[in-house]
Amino acid sequence: MTIATRPAARIIANRKVAALATGVALAMLGLGFASAPLYRLFCQATGLNGTTQRATLAQAESVRATARPITIRFDANVAPGMKWLFRPEKVSQDGHIGERKIAFFEARNDSGHAIVGRAVFNVTPEQTGAYFHKIQCFCFNNQRLEAGQHVRMPVIYYVDPAMLNDPNARDVAEITLSYTFLPAADATG
């Protein structure tokens, strides 16, 4: 190899390293953007961190109630600065595992203009998230309230009897369903 070809070979090797490093950096950037949606999907599929499940009416109709009682407590919060009143009509509801229930929440916009909100939710204890199924919920969509508007919002749910087979969840006698309303990122309602 002559002296003139050594720098050319080094330039080619440096370009390969630069291309590889750029590819790795772009892949890491892509994973960074994808991590939040992927984490949300993972939590929805597994109930991790108290993420509840969605169920269709057909799925709910195939579930049979058990004799095992369960109490559901309701918690309602609003983001700081969001001028809404938001609360459950009842703070708790007794039922049986597998039984379909409906609970209502009240919301009122106390501001002088329309506000679009989005409810984020979880259940505690966290291990019950995989068994708490919502059939219908105001949290599935943005909620637009005009100035002074007051609404009742339902959530239809059941606790899956499969919870009784889970050694980490079967002894739970009370589940808290918690909602926090935040201003919606996309203000369509």
* Lookup: tokens for 173: 């006698």
Instruction: Quote the CA–CA distance of 185 and 189 in Å, as a whole number.
Output: 11
Specify the DSSP class assigned to residue 162.
Answer: G
97 neighbors 125 (Cβ within 8 angstroms) = no
Question: Which two tokens mark 107?
Answer: 């919301």
Rounded to the nearest integer, the mean pLDDT of the chain is 84
Residues 53, 132 contacting (CB under 8 angstroms):
yes
pTM over 0.75: no
Tokens (6 digits) for 176: 């808290």
CATH code 3.30.390.50 for 49-183: no
Q: What is the pLDDT of residues 97-136, one digit of tens each?
A: 999 999 999 999 999 999 999 999 999 999 999 999 999 9
Helical ranges in 47-178 per DSSP H: 57-61
Q: Where in the chain are the domains?
A: 1-46, 49-183
